[in-house]
Every structure is written in structure tokens, then in C-alpha cells.
Amino acid sequence: MDQLAPKHRLPDQPKEFGYFVDGLWKSREDRFERASPGHGVAVSRTVRCTLDDLNDAVSAARRAFENGFWADISGAERAGVLLRTAEIIKRRREEVAYWEVLENGKPISQALGEIEHCIACFETGAGAARALHGDSFNNLGKDLFGMVLREPIGVVGLITPWNFPFLILCERVPFILASGCTLVVKPSEVTSVTTLLLAEILEEAGLPRGAYNVVTGSGRTIGQAMTEHHDIDMISFTGSTAVGRACVHAAADSNFKKLGLELGGKNPIIVFADADLDSAADAAAFGISFNTGQCCVSSSRLIVEVKVANEFEKLLAAKMQKIVVGDPLDPTTQVGAITTEAQNKTILDYIEKGKSAGAKVLVGGAKFDHEGGQYIQPTLFTGVTRDMAIATDEIFGPVLSSFTFETADEAVQIANDTVYGLAASLWTSDVSKALSVTRRVRAGRFWVNTIMAGGPEMPLGGFKQSGWGREAGVYGVEEYTQIKSVHVDLAKRQPWIS
Ligand code: TXE
């Protein structure tokens, strides 16, 4: 820790944060205290909001939507606010990254990289605000003209998880705002600070009061009440498949609000023998270790052509051995801490299940304690069969299970042998094979000879039980609109009653 700049040291005492409703900061005594998962030291204290606070926030968002100060201004004016937001995030990037590290445990270098992506999200959202448009039908006959208007859906409730507190927020907020909607956000109770910082940033950028509200609190009370709320028009939820299912029930039992759901994944990385094996191994090591594998698009199933499987696994194990795991505040760290105690236990339990089911650990397979934090070595299992829990379940940790295949058909079959369909990566030097496999694997995001690449222009979301809808880019903005068909009679009406 001695080599770190003062700004990268741990705070002397936990910092207190309020919550943000109708352009005002508010407070309550009842609070969550968050300890840094990398150090076990208390870093933040955020408010445990009540259902009344949620209702105030929804009313504020409704007023801000209805008064038209946001929904009725031009796309160009909305773009101006989003571009100013991008500039302010640039100015405050170190501070935002620091809080991501303190609450989530991710390495500072990674957090800073994510913030570049967040800036790009606001810039892209600004472009989308200006580009958003409807459609027209000039083919309805001489006298009838049709227009399709895109209108903002209204008040959006955004429920975010703890794995990418600021990045997942920024992959949604600019696009929701670009559409003209207003928001109530509930971040994960363990990583709320950067969602609150965004409130300060948006206010400085000139967002009208009430358009962005943050209610901190637990999922079971505030999150559940949001999904049941009669005055929220749409929920964007990112988290577990179990809670995603609860959102569907709550929407059905309340006002049929629209849902955007980004849920779990068990994503394949398929490696053909003709691939650049060294690059593929590097990508596989990155794909399972990035964000300690607590990432919905982690490539957690390696599917490698049998004739190179041994060679590839050795290459991969050697690379995984070299990954630098440790203090997330150290700029040289590649993999930081596991974010919550519950997640740490889940991952370690899965590692034990893999071992007792007969899979073999090629690298990792254990926790290690460091500076009072919770850490797990990136782990590679071989000899995995498709019925094992480590083969089927989303572990959400740095645990990779290896399978082999003989033909492309078999690779596709293994890749699709999951209830999820979020993402996939494919490595081959044969372009026909690449495109043919890409077209047959059921996943919402695909990477050919790369992994986790892309910008906020590209939509993201899943097939099957990985969710509903798409976020980001123009597709993302459209999710937060609804379509109105307008019919205009250009001639005098032919009387029905003579
Ligand atoms: O998620 P939860 P948890 C997966 C991953 C992980 C597992 C459990 O497999 O191991 O989920 O993580 C709020 N109504 N992912 O328990 O509970 C909660 O407060 C409404 C994948 O942390 O789904 C938080 O803000 N909201 C994933 C958010 O939901 C509720 C990211 C996510 O928490 C709620 C995270 C309820 N009844 C976990 N209960 C991804 N797709 O990236 C909780 N919440």
C-alpha cells in the first residue's frame, strides 16, 4: 500500500451519503455500512430508504415526466445535457473509479477503463437522442397517410447489481434519458455510491429536477416494491434469473409494466484447432478472470477441439497461473477481490462441488486471504461432464470448465446446451466456419476471434433465460419508447350515414 498515491489510500472513516429525490439530497439515520471487499475496512454508509421515500421518488419522476421539461424538449437539447455529463465524468473519473474499487473490489486499472466506456455511453446516448425518429407509411392509398411516432414510455425504474455498479448504470441511463423518460434508480445495497455520484453529475450537467432520482435500499423491500409499483411504466432489471422471474410475476400482478431483463449467463468460448491458439488462450484467461468472473458475459465454458485440447489447456493453465490477483488499489493488480461474502461462499462451494464430482483442477481451485479481503485464484477445471453443477450453473466467479468436441455440429450442440443465451466467443481462422457457427449458437452477443469487445453503439442483451430486450445504442433507446400509429385522412370523409 505504501507505493500508492494518497488518493488511492483507504478512507480514515466511512463516508456518509444521502439519497436523491426531486433534485434534493435527503437523509435518514437507518443505514447500510459497506466494508471494502479487498480490505475488510468500512468505507461507506448509505441510507436504508423506506417505501415512503420510494413513493416520493416515483411521484417526482412522474411530475418531471409530465411537466415536459425533459420529455418535450428537443433531442438536441437532451443531447447537450448528455454530452455535458460525459465531460463531467471525464473530470471526476478518478473519484468515480476509486469508489468502484472501494465498494466492488475491482482493480483500479479496470475501473478506470470502465469509466472510459461510461463516457462513451453518454456520448452515444447524445447521438441517439438526436437520431431517434419514427416512421411513415405512404402506401395506404391516395387519401390515407400513416405516421408512426416514437414516444417515451414514461417513468422507468432501474434496478442494478453490484458487479458493475457504474458501468451497468451508464449502459442504461443515457439511453433512457435520450428517449425522454425520467427515472428512479435503485442500486445494489452494497455498491450504491457511484449511482449517487451520478446524481451530482447529472444535476451539474443541467438535467431538470426529478428526472433522475436515487433511492438506496434493499432489493427485497425497495426493489420488490418498484416492480409492483402502479406508477412505474417500465423496469430495467439486471441481476439474477430468480429475481428476474419475480419481476415478471410482479409486473403481471400490478400494471403490466414493460420489462427489460438482463439475467444470468453460462457463456461458451469455442476454440477450433485452426485458431491462433496463443491468442485464444489469452482471451479465455481474460474472459473468465475479468471482474473476478463476476460478469454476466464471462466465458465460463471452454469448448475446445479435441485434437488440440491437451495443448490448449496447458497453454491456458500457464497463462492463468501468471494472473496478478491482489489488492484492487494496486495499479498492477489484474484481478481483485470477490465483491460479497455470499458470492465468495457460492464460488468456493462450486469449486468443492466440481472437485467432489470428479473434475480435475488444472490451476487455482482455492481462496487466499490478503489484507483482510476475500480473494479466489482463477480456476480451470478439466474432465468436466455436462451434468455437473460447474457445467450447468452460473457460478459468477473465476471458475472455467473445459469440454472437448470433434465436429462443428458437436461444438454448437454443447454451446447451446444451457438455459442461458447471453454471449459467446469463437476462435477459428476459417471465416465460413466462424459465420456458420455464429448463426447457430443462440446468444445475444457474439465475439469472433475476440472477446468482450465492442462499444455502446452495439445492443446488448440475451436469448432464452438470459433475459428480455436490449440495452445501449439506438436499439436501447427504442426499448424505452412506445409506438403510436397515427392515421390522417387527406380527403373528405365518405359518409357512413346517408
Ligand atoms: O442478485 P440479485 P444477487 C447473478 C449471479 C449471482 C446471483 C445472485 O449468478 O451469483 O445472481 O446475486 C435487487 N425485487 N447475478 O443475489 O438479488 C438487488 O437489491 C427487485 C447476475 O446479488 O438479483 C440488486 O439491486 N429487486 C447479474 C439487484 O436486484 C431485487 C448481476 C441484483 O441482485 C429483489 C448480479 C427483488 N425481489 C447477479 N431482490 C448479471 N446479469 O450481471 C434483489 N433485488
Centre of ligand 1 from the C-alpha of residue 310, in Å: 37
Helices 108-131 and 75-91 cross at an angle (nearest 10°) of: 170
Q: What's the confidence (pLDDT) of residue 8?
A: 66
Mutate which of 243, 262, 390 for ligand 1 pocket (most atoms within 8 A of beta carbon) = 243
Query: What is the distance in A from the centroid of ligand 1 to the CA of 121?
Result: 23
- Among protein residues, the one with the nearest Cα to ligand 1's atom 12 is 240
416 lines ligand 1 (CB under 6 A): no
| 263 close to ligand 1 (CB < 6 Angstrom) | yes
Cα of 3 vs centre of ligand 1, distance in Å, is 36
Mean pLDDT in consecutive groups of 10 residues from the start of the chain, 498 residues: 52 95 97 94 96 98 97 97 98 97 96 97 98 97 97 98 98 98 98 98 98 97 98 97 97 97 97 98 97 96 98 97 94 95 96 97 89 91 95 97 97 97 97 96 96 94 96 95 97 93
Check if 157 has its Cβ closer than 6 Å to any atom of ligand 1. Answer: no
> Does residue 246 line the site of ligand 1, with CB under 6 A?
yes
Task: Please give the pLDDT value at position 470.
Answer: 95
Distance 161 CA to ligand 1 centre (A): 6
Neighbours of 403 (CB within 10 A): 23
Helix (H, G, I), strand (E, B) or coil at 19: strand
Residue nearest to atom 13 of ligand 1 (CA): 219
Q: Does the CB atom of residue 189 touch ligand 1 within 6 A?
A: yes
Nearest to 123 by CA among 99, 88, 156: 88
Report the nearest atom of ligand 1 relative to the CA of 189. Answer: 19
Nearest alpha carbon, ligand 1 atom 7: 240
Distance from Cα 224 to the centre of ligand 1, integer Å: 11
Half-sphere exposure of 221 (CA within 13 A, CB side): 13
For the record, the C-alpha cell of 184 comes out as 428512479
Q: Which long-range contacts (CB under 8 A, 24 or more apart) does 2-6 make?
A: 3/330, 4/329, 4/330, 4/331
What percent of the residues of the chain are helix, what percent strand, and what percent coil, each to the nearest 5? 40, 25, 35
Question: Quick check: is 94 catalytic?
Answer: no
Beta-ladder partners of 447: 425
In this structure, are strands 423-427 and 467-468 parallel, antiparallel, or unpaired? unpaired
DSSP letters for 319-383: HHHT--B--TTSTT-SB---S-HHHHHHHHHHHHHHHHTT-EEEE---EEEETTEEEE--EEEES
- Of ligand 1's listed atoms, the one at least distance from the Cα of 340 is 22
- pLDDT score of 3: 39
Of all protein residues, whose CA lies closest to atom 31 belonging to ligand 1? 239
- Is the C-beta atom of 399 inside 6 A of ligand 1? no
Residue nearest to atom 4 of ligand 1 (CA): 240
Q: H helices then E strands: how many in the chain?
A: 16, 25
Residue 343 Cα to ligand 1 middle (Å): 11
Best mutation site among 218, 240, 346 for ligand 1 pocket (most ligand atoms within 8 Å of CB): 240
Instruction: Say which DSSP state 396 is in.
Output: -
Question: Domain map of the chain by residue range?
Answer: 6-263+466-484, 267-448
Cβ of 262 closer than 6 Å to ligand 1, yes or no, is yes
Can 262 be counted among the known catalytic residues? Answer: yes
Residue 369 confidence (pLDDT)? 75
Distance 129 CA to ligand 1 centre (A): 30
**pTM of structure:** 0.96
Any ligand 1 atom below 6 A from CB of 394 = yes
As a whole number of angstroms, the distance between CA 377 and CA 398 comes to 7
Task: Establish whether residue 261 lines the binding site of ligand 1, counting it when its CB lies within 6 angstroms of any ligand atom.
Answer: no
* Ligand 1, atom 44: closest residue by C-alpha: 219
**By three-state DSSP, how is residue 193 classified?**
helix
The answer to whether the CB of 297 falls within 8 A of the CB of 265 is yes
Distance 243 CA to ligand 1 centre (A): 6
Q: Which CATH superfamily is domain 267-448 in?
A: Aldehyde Dehydrogenase; Chain A, domain 2 (3.40.309.10)
Ligand 1: does its nearest atom lie under 6 Å from the Cβ of 219? yes
**Contact at 8 Å (CB) between 483 and 150?**
yes
CB proximity list for 2: less than 8 A, separation 6 or greater = none
Annotated active-site residue in 49, 181, 247, 296: 296
Q: Which residue bears the cell 406508477? A: 231
Query: Which residue's CA lies nearest to atom 38 of ligand 1?
Result: 239
Q: Which amino acid is at 418?
A: T
Distance 111 CA to ligand 1 centre (A): 21
What is the architecture of the domain spanning 6-263+466-484? 3-Layer(aba) Sandwich (3.40)
**Number of the ligand 1 atom closest to the C-alpha atom of 244:** 23
CB 107 within 8 A of CB 375: no
In short, whether 293's Cβ falls inside 6 Å of ligand 1 is no
